[in-house]
Structure 1
Amino acid sequence: MLTYDVQIWSIRTRKDRPKPFELRWRVGPRPHSKSYKLKAQADGRRSELMTALRNGQQFDEDSGLPADELDALNTPTWYEHAKAYALMKWPKVAAKHRASIAEALAVVTPAFVSSSRGMPDRALLREALYGWAFRATLTAETGVVSRADAETPPPDVAEALAWIAKHSLKVTEAAKPERMRAGLDALSLKMNGQPAADNTAARKRMVLSNAMRYAVERGTLATNPLLRIDWTPPARDDEVDFRYVPNPKQTAALISAVRQQGTRGAHLAPFFGCLYYAAMRPSEAAALRKADCHLPESGWGELILAGSRPEVGSGWTDDGASYEQRGLKRRARKATRPVPIPPVLTAMLRDHIEAFGTTEDGHLFRAARGGRVRSTEYCDLWDIAREQALTKEEEGSPLAAVPYSLRHAGVSLWINSGVDPVEVARRAGHSLTVLFRFYAKILRGGQSHANRLIDKGLSTDDEG
């Protein structure tokens, strides 16, 4: 209980004691004392208590401490708070979001330390934080707890976590502007010191902001300190580099090269077709079921996309699977997205179902040994296809470097074909903001056509 009823007495000397100088004071009805070896130490502490009293601070009856000192004593370290925040979020968010939170916290936590002396190797420290401190596990006794508290980490990980626990700043200290800036700078860089992508830095900054909001919710801070920081991440161009997006001829050659790689290639060629002709994300193609497909014998078909199966490490899911079943990205859980597909993809999917059937639960694509088709599997096929379908110069460049390039190529084809950007965004499952940010170069390329249409409209108006 806090009170203004405080009395501080003079220093008492007891020569027969190892610490002969005793400071005594009373808070409410409770007496308190502390002994020192040197009189100067006792006088210094008495001066601190007197200053707090003159400044109008209340004192705590149980501890005898001024309110400010009590708050500092009870304030958690940033490391303790970050662990608590990760545990609070764990039951309520998707597996991929759990990993994203852990990644951001693992990056910013080493910036909030009192000293860098004896700091463990950066890569080891980050892995210890990411994989142990900010990753949770479910136990029958205590529910969701930090993995570092539920299991015995390897010795080097345990040492790294012990170091960060010892040197981590109090949350109130980490909230100071200079510390916040250091944390934001850390979030904006990769491990090699190069600037991170704008969306990556923004995503990690949001995690830090939410963690600070949680400190406000817990009463540790009065306000979110990031609101007072005028900080802009390093500039980065997020637009797709269309020099390395395959054109329709190159794309057809790449998918054909995949098909020629035996049974697995023939099975997964339509998977790549979905990425290009329907501009699907790999996680959406992995979730595609026969029931989602309208495939007439000729002409255009349609896919009703209803979910995705994003890959994520088994340590981040509730059931230990390496992927999770999710709704469409940035959509309500049961939302769907109809995507018309051209005759070429319609025929590919019809032939695929006839040749390979589906899994027991109706999915079109499966891994070689069953289950969700893995990125390692289709990326291996893609690498071989690039060797076979591209020239040596093209193969040595970033052209179609990853299967996701096919999604960029599909969206680019739609824009270049004159499809309205609103419809392009809808089919691709983008917001217009994202579409214009990533595909601005192509959209700007349509200005000449737009100008001609406006000229034509003006001429018609003049003639009238």
Structure 2
Amino acid sequence: MKSLDVRIWGIRKRQTKKPSFDVRWTVAGQVFSEFFRTKALADNYRSKLLRAIRDGEEFDTESGLPESLAEQKASLTWYAFALQYVAMKWPHAAPNYRDSISESLTSVTMAMLSERAGRPSDKLLRHSLRNYAFVLPGPEDADLPTEVANAFHWVAKASRPLSDLAEPAVGRMVLDSLKLRLDGSAAAAETVQRKRRTLVNAVHYAVDLGEFKENPITAVRWKRPKVSKAVDPRVVANPEQVRALLHAVSYVGGYRRARGRRLVGLFACMYFGAFRPAEAVALREADLKLPELGWGVALLNRTRPTAGKRWTDTGETHDDRGLKNRPTEEVRPVPIPPQLVTILRDHLKTFGTAPDGRLFTNERGGLVGSSTYYRVWQEARVLALPPVAVASPLASRPYDLRHSALSTWLNAGVDATEVAQRAGNSVEVLLGRYAKCIDGRQEIANRKIEELLREYE
């Protein structure tokens, strides 16, 4: 039944644990309401109701909505769309990218929930979305715990329409939500940018499906957090400090257990060869040319990044893939100095290889996880460095060995093109990231300027 007897009340703020704003109206004497997290969203919705009255639209006495909003309400919800997006992206995405998609969509979905009776706790909602909804095979085919199934039933009802993203106020609210981590703490600028990229990519897919004529997120005036891509010069260790750190690694875990000794070569590859950690973990004896004297060569062609069983197709913790940002079968030859050749020859003589030919294993013979080599590295820093340096960013992560290597090569005057080739980067990325780590450039520039000014004295 339809009616023109409509009255719209002012917005009322509800003093709950998380304040919300209530838009209330009556149709033929029946009271209806919608709840919103911000006053701007409530104002926006109330304006739509008032516009429908001015346009002479009749309101439905059962739903309380004019025809224009009833059509919108019946459209695809954000949650239903997000499940479609995951199903589309999953087969072709790398495991760590799958993890990132799940995290990003969880943040957006939490922001796209309307207030509705029976809301589960935020902790349960985040857990359910992160670990069951946005992970294939998805909630429809998975064997779900009862509380998770109930949470999904609520989310399906409470999810706002996908079309709401066309409203600038909604888009801004969603983008602002990305500034928080799933636990409510402030997110790093790089994390915010990564989540925004996922959201923009998802809405591009909605454009492909015909849900939008153009991507509404890219039109929102929203200040992005600035991300510094330059390497912090404070993390760069000099050759003497690296030697001390590698020596300290050999003492971690004692001589008999050899927890640290079996990883000395792994860290040495990151410094002397500027390998990425996942490249060093995947290194096999067949990839190496180790002469008794002089320089050797490593033919890098695989990486074994830590991803998590949930995200890999094999159910293993580590992914097995080609080099970063390269075709699957591409090989990157990296000359390795005599110091690293000696270390690797000693490693092979002492520990041999895994059954598949890999050089580095954990104590049980399996793949070396990032948490394993990170803990060893932290113990080695305490042994090798003075307390002041331990408390500083100096070589605080194993990856900083790669930063130290590339900075050292550039400071030694090695041509940037050659450094980029060995590192597996473009020259532009290399110089952009390591510009602050190249010593002596300021003194050279000062000297040139001084010489020029003397000509005019």
> Is TM (by shorter chain) over 0.5?
yes
Q: How far is 1:116 from its partner? A: 8.1
* Cα separation, partners in 2 of 1:328 and 1:136, compared to 1, 3 Å: same
Which of 279, 282, 286 is residue 287 of structure 1 equivalent to? 282
State yes or no: 1:234 paired with 2:225: yes
State yes or no: 1:83 paired with 2:83: yes
Query: After superposition, what is the alpha-carbon deviation per residue over 1:164-216, rounded to whole angstroms, capped at 9, x for unaligned?
Result: 32321100013321111122222244345435233x33322221111111112
CA contact (8 A) 1:270 1:352 kept: yes
CA contact (8 A) 2:165 2:216 kept: no
Which of 160, 178, 188 is residue 196 of structure 1 equivalent to? 188
Q: Which residue of 2 aligns with 1:354?
A: 349
CA contact (8 A) 2:165 2:217 kept: no
State yes or no: 1:107 paired with 2:131: no
Q: How far is 1:305 from its partner? A: 0.9
| Structure 2 counterpart of 1:340, one-letter code | P
Q: Which residue of 1 aligns with 2:236?
A: 245
* Cα separation, partners in 2 of 1:426 and 1:183, compared to 1, 3 Å: farther
* Distance (whole Å) between structure 1 residues aligned to residue 180 and residue 229 of structure 2: 15
Q: Which residue of 1 aligns with 2:24?
A: none
CA contact (8 A) 2:73 2:161 kept: no
| Structure 2 counterpart of 1:232, one-letter code | K
CA contact (8 A) 1:245 1:399 kept: yes
Q: Which residue of 2 aligns with 1:222?
A: 213
* Distance (whole Å) between structure 2 residues aligned to residue 415 and residue 453 of structure 1: 21
Q: Give SS of 2:323's match.
A: coil
Q: Which residue of 2 aligns with 1:185?
A: 176
Q: Which residue of 1 aligns with 2:433?
A: 438
| Structure 2 counterpart of 1:184, one-letter code | L
Q: How far is 1:396 from its partner? A: 2.8
* Distance (whole Å) between structure 2 residues aligned to residue 236 and residue 209 of structure 1: 18
Q: How far is 1:417 from its partner? A: 1.4
Q: Give SS of 1:339's match.
A: strand
* Cα separation, partners in 2 of 1:254 and 1:192, compared to 1, 3 Å: farther
Query: After superposition, what is the alpha-carbon deviation per residue over 1:256-280, rounded to whole angstroms, capped at 9, x for unaligned?
Result: 1111233232211000001111111
Query: After superposition, what is the alpha-carbon deviation per residue over 1:273-310, rounded to whole angstroms, capped at 9, x for unaligned?
Result: 01111111111111111121121111111111112011
* Distance (whole Å) between structure 2 residues aligned to residue 121 and residue 397 of structure 1: 39
* Cα separation, partners in 2 of 1:66 and 1:157, compared to 1, 3 Å: closer
Q: TM-score, normalised by structure 1?
A: 0.77
* Distance (whole Å) between structure 2 residues aligned to residue 9 and residue 163 of structure 1: 29
**Structure 2: 5+ residue runs without aligned partners?**
5-26, 31-48, 59-64
* Cα separation, partners in 2 of 1:392 and 1:175, compared to 1, 3 Å: same
| Structure 1 counterpart of 2:152, one-letter code | L
Q: Give SS of 1:330's match.
A: coil
Q: How far is 1:96 from its partner? A: 1.5
* Distance (whole Å) between structure 1 residues aligned to residue 238 and residue 290 of structure 2: 25
Q: TM-score, normalised by structure 2?
A: 0.78
| Structure 2 counterpart of 1:425, one-letter code | A
Which of 372, 378, 382 is residue 377 of structure 1 equivalent to? 372
Q: How far is 1:75 from its partner? A: 1.8
| Structure 2 counterpart of 1:126, one-letter code | R
| Structure 2 counterpart of 1:90, one-letter code | W
Greater radius of gyration (CA) = 1
Q: How far is 1:161 from its partner? A: 3.2
Residues matched between the structures, number: 400
**Structure 1: 5+ residue runs without aligned partners?**
1-7, 12-37, 54-64, 138-145
Query: After superposition, what is the alpha-carbon deviation per residue over 1:358-417, rounded to whole angstroms, capped at 9, x for unaligned?
Result: 222211112222231112222222122122111122223333222112111112211221
Q: How far is 1:312 from its partner? A: 0.8
Query: After superposition, what is the alpha-carbon deviation per residue over 1:227-283, rounded to whole angstroms, capped at 9, x for unaligned?
Result: 322333123434322223322212111111111233232211000001111111111
- Which residues of 2 match residues 48-447 of structure 1 at below 5 A? 71-72=71-72, 74-115=74-115, 120-137=120-137, 146=138, 148-190=139-181, 191-198=183-190, 200-261=191-252, 262=255, 263-443=258-438, 445-447=440-442
CA contact (8 A) 2:111 2:173 kept: yes
